[in-house]
Structure 1
Amino acid sequence: SISTFQELLLSPKVRGGFGEVLLNELIKDVLPAANYAFQYRFKDGTIVDAVIKTKDRIIPIDSKFPLEEFQRMVADEVDEEHFKSRFKQIMRPRVNEVKQYIKPDEGTVNFALMYIPSEKLYSRLSGIDELMVAFRRIRVFPVSPSTFYQFLETILLGLRGLAIEKEAQRILDTLNRLAKEFDTAREEWEVVGKHITNARNKYDEVAKRLEQIGTDIKALEVKGEERQKEIPL
């Protein structure tokens, strides 16, 4: 569960790479494989931990959160003011690192996500207004395991809607194609019908002519027989 992961993440035995593992697992659990990529490389060689692929854009996500720094502060039980001050010192350069993944010319959205692998740390981060304002200004948005999961669910709904839209469009395209084929077939059928009608009329016309010719021939035969009877032997 998320709470279990949080406990593990706050343990001094945990290494920073676990955040990336958790991020990857969350993405794989929610999204279809075609809609994400890990260790995505940009043209300049920059590599981001993960991207989510939407209809025509990608969403970059960084997970290299400096967790050990905060674990030390938690362990040292520093006062709140010192914690906030140190928090801001650590996060400012990290946010600028994440900002480099915003590359609209390479198909990214105009923001990036920074994955915070602990609900407790995310909560404390959210309480530092000055830092959150700085995040929003450069369009880098921190997410916790729970908020990121909700984000993924929203993306999934959009992808399903897109799939339904594509299927509906495919059905409409098929119906349009069938309608055109039906119209073509109907026109051809009408032409064939006209040919059949013309052929039938011609057949009847020829039949009448043949019947008339037959009648005329029989009339000549009768006259011939009558003349033969009139000739004296």
Structure 2
Amino acid sequence: MTLDLSDPTILAAFGGGVVALILIGLILSLSSRLRDMTQAQARLTGGLAALTDAQHRSEAQVGTALGDNAARTAETLGNLQARLAAIDVAQANIERLSGDVLGLQDILSNKQTRGAFGEIQLRDLVGKALAPDAFAWQAQLTNGRRADCLIHMPDPPGPLVIDAKFPLEAYEAMIAAPGDARAVTAFRASVRTHIRAIADRYIIPGETAEGACLFLPSEAIYAELHANHAEVVREGFAARVWIVSPTTCMATLNTLRAILKDHRMREQAGDIRRALAALGRDVELIVERAAKLEIHFDQARRDVEGIATAAERAGKRAERLDTFDFSEDPERPKLAPVIRRG
């Protein structure tokens, strides 16, 4: 069968079929795209849900991390604040210590205040070691000199002088210039000058002890003398001037305290002997009076025994009177009545 394409009906039918096919293709294509879009939307919805969950988890983690960081930051800030407070306290202590050091430097830079510093140290040591009546401060001697401290020692050895000296300038100059022979010589000369001054001023025959003490209020200077300047120490021994530091001075004072205690005990020995003699006489009187009292007790005992014997006889007679027959006996003489007087 041959189609007549010139027939309008056939052409219309053919065109309608083509259009239908095109529509069906479009519908099928749209359906496929719709399915794809639905699937894509479903995937997108799932992705959005997963993204939302992930976002929530991320927000939770971020919140937790921020909270932990905030807590750690607060703790760190608290520790930092405490450390800053400790640093402030340490800074204040350092400033106060610096002020004390500057004050000490001011004291040591002046000879008069330096001497007073040594005397204060000496006063503290002596006051701790000895009784108040065992020493005197700034005691005047017969030569007009005043001793920093005079220990009232018995004779012998006699009153002992302790004088505080502080050759700080010469010592610092020697330390500042190690190996400088002139500084060493100046330091030794300064100490020798102090030794001679003490020997000349404070060792007075018949008034003070045959020696005196030079008190150095610095262990460093004392150690330097004994370690590197032994000849100066020996010169002090020869002049009967003994160099002492705060440590050795306390040991010396403890020895002097023992000597003073022994001397006072010997001074009181006579009083103790007299007291013992008086006590012996009192004991003899007590023994004598006890013997007399024993005699009195013995006499009293005999008197009591006599009273007891008389009482016993009186009791026996009373018993006989209880059994006595008071009937009239013509042969028995009558007793005259007893008349009691006033």
TM-score, normalised by the number of residues in structure 1: 0.67
Structure 1 counterpart of 2:308: none
Contact 1:37 1:50 in 2 (8 A): yes
Q: Which has the higher contact order (CA 8 A, sep 6+)?
A: 1
Distance 2:140 2:166 in 1: 19
Structure 1 counterpart of 2:232: 131
Instruction: Report whether the alignment pairs 1:53 with 2:152.
Output: yes
DSSP-derived class of the 2:252 partner: helix
Please list, as runs of the form range in 1=range in 2, the aligned pairs for 1:15-94 lying within 5 A after superposition.
Answer: 15-17=113-115, 18-56=117-155, 57-74=158-175, 76-79=176-179, 81-94=181-194
The code of the aligned residue for 2:168 comes to L
Contact 1:12 1:71 in 2 (8 A): no
Larger deviation: 14-23 or 78-87? 78-87
Contact 1:19 1:63 in 2 (8 A): yes
Residue 70 of structure 1, CA deviation? 2.0
Instruction: Report whether the alignment pairs 1:97 with 2:197.
Output: yes
Residue 177 of structure 1, CA deviation? 2.8
Residue 166 of structure 1, CA deviation? 4.4
Larger radius of gyration: 2
The code of the aligned residue for 1:12 comes to Q
Structure 2 counterpart of 1:152: 253
Q: Can you give the 5+ residue segments of structure 1 that lack an aligned partner in the other structure? A: 1-6, 193-233
Distance 1:68 1:83 in 2: 10
Instruction: Report whether the alignment pairs 1:111 with 2:211.
Output: yes
Contact 1:16 1:68 in 2 (8 A): no
Distance 1:71 1:12 in 2: 12
Larger deviation: 92-101 or 142-151? 92-101
Residue 131 of structure 1, CA deviation? 1.0
Give CA-to-partner distance per residue, 1:159-202, whole Å, 9 cap, x none: 23334444554332201133356668989999x9xxxxxxxxxx
The code of the aligned residue for 2:114 comes to G
Structure 2 counterpart of 1:3: none
DSSP-derived class of the 1:50 partner: strand
Residue 81 of structure 1, CA deviation? 4.2
Distance 2:267 2:119 in 1: 33
Larger deviation: 22-31 or 172-181? 172-181
The code of the aligned residue for 2:172 comes to Q
Residue 43 of structure 1, CA deviation? 1.2
The code of the aligned residue for 2:149 comes to A
Distance 2:265 2:202 in 1: 31
Bigger helix share? 2
Structure 2 counterpart of 1:172: 273
DSSP-derived class of the 1:110 partner: coil
The code of the aligned residue for 1:37 comes to A
* Count of aligned pairs: 183
Cα distance change, pair 69–85 in 1 and its aligned pair in 2 (3 A) = closer
Distance 2:189 2:165 in 1: 16
Distance 2:171 2:203 in 1: 26
Residue 262 (structure 2) aligned to one of 161, 178, 201 = 161
Please list, as runs of the form range in 1=range in 2, the aligned pairs for 1:192-207 lying within 5 A after superposition.
Answer: none
Larger deviation: 175-184 or 85-94? 175-184
Distance 2:169 2:264 in 1: 42
Contact 1:16 1:66 in 2 (8 A): no
Larger deviation: 78-87 or 33-42? 78-87
Residue 89 of structure 1, CA deviation? 1.6
